Amino acid sequence: MRDNKAIMKLSVPALAVALLITACTKSEEQPPVPPQSSSATSDSDQPSPPVATVPSSKPAAPVAPTVTSAPSTPAPAPSGSSAQVAASLETAYITNPEFSARVETIYKLTDAGTPEAITSLGRLFHMEKDPDLKTEILDSLFVVDGQDERKAALLSAGAGADQPKEVRMSAIDGLEDVDAKYALPILQALTSDPDEEIRDTAKDAIEMLQAEPSPAQPAHAK
């Protein structure tokens, strides 16, 4: 019994020594944890780059210089062949209903004085509804040199019974300026017109034409 107690006394210190040695061995096996560096900072701690500021007010836009329109000038006369010029003026007359513009176009056609221009005037006369413009067309034939046969045909239409009286009177006046061989047949037909004024005016025009001296006849060679 004493021997067992002696063994127990000897084994207790030995056990304590063994436990101490084991604890020291474990502490040596685990490496120490390195402390975090104070200089390491997170991305959120880094200062953000400076941002360029844009001024809120925009510069004033430059003011455009005032442009004054040039004064309008009359449209140039059409160029090309006589047929092209007459066709262009005829189209201008039809597309522009203004009275003054149509009168201007009428006299541009008579200034041209070509057969095509007189033909265009004839078409415009039959198309026109305004008696004043019809009269302008007939009166404008006074400025045309020659073209008596074509002018007589247009004046004959103007003297017709289907035209207003003022237009017919203008046509009779125009026939006094046409070669007698073209004008007399038309005027003689008007001497029997139902309208007394038309008859008298036609007779006066006939007397005027017949009173004019006939062209001198060339002398026959002996």
Cα 135 to Cα 128: distance, rounded to the nearest angstrom: 10
pLDDT at 44: 45
Query: What band does 211 get if pLDDT is binned at 50, 70 and 90?
Result: confident
Query: What band does 69 get if pLDDT is binned at 50, 70 and 90?
Result: very low
For residues 147 and 50, the model is more confident at 147
Question: pLDDT tens-digit profile of 138-178?
Answer: 999 999 998 999 999 999 999 999 999 999 999 999 999 99
Cα 192 to Cα 103: distance, rounded to the nearest angstrom: 33
CATH number at residue 92: 1.25.10.10
Q: Is the pLDDT of residue 121 over 60?
A: yes
Q: Report yes or no on 146 lying in a domain.
A: yes
Q: Report yes or no on 219 lying in a domain.
A: no
Q: Is the pLDDT of residue 67 over 50?
A: no
In this structure, the dihedral spanned by the alpha carbons of residues 89, 93, 94 and 95, taken in order and rounded to 10 degrees, is 90
Average pLDDT over residues 94-106: 96
Q: Report yes or no on 94 lying in a domain.
A: yes
Cα 214 to Cα 216: distance, rounded to the nearest angstrom: 6
HSE of 154, CA atoms in CB hemisphere, 13 A = 32
Q: Report yes or no on 167 lying in a domain.
A: yes
pLDDT at 206: 96
Average pLDDT over residues 97-116: 95
Q: Report yes or no on 52 lying in a domain.
A: no
State the residue range of the domain holding 166.
Answer: 82-211
Q: Cβ distance 209 to 185 under 8 Å?
A: no
Q: How many distinct structural domains can be found in the chain? A: 1
Q: Cβ distance 180 to 210 under 8 Å?
A: yes
Q: Report yes or no on 156 lying in a domain.
A: yes
Question: pLDDT tens-digit profile of 19-30?
Answer: 555 554 554 445
Q: Report yes or no on 207 lying in a domain.
A: yes
> Long-range contacts: 148-154, Cβ < 8 Å, 24+?
148/178, 148/179, 148/182, 149/179, 149/182, 150/115, 150/118, 150/119, 150/122, 151/118, 151/178, 151/182, 152/178, 152/179, 152/182, 152/183, 152/186, 153/122, 154/118, 154/121, 154/122, 154/125
pLDDT at 19: 53
Q: Report yes or no on 33 lying in a domain.
A: no
| Average pLDDT over the chain, rounded to an integer | 76
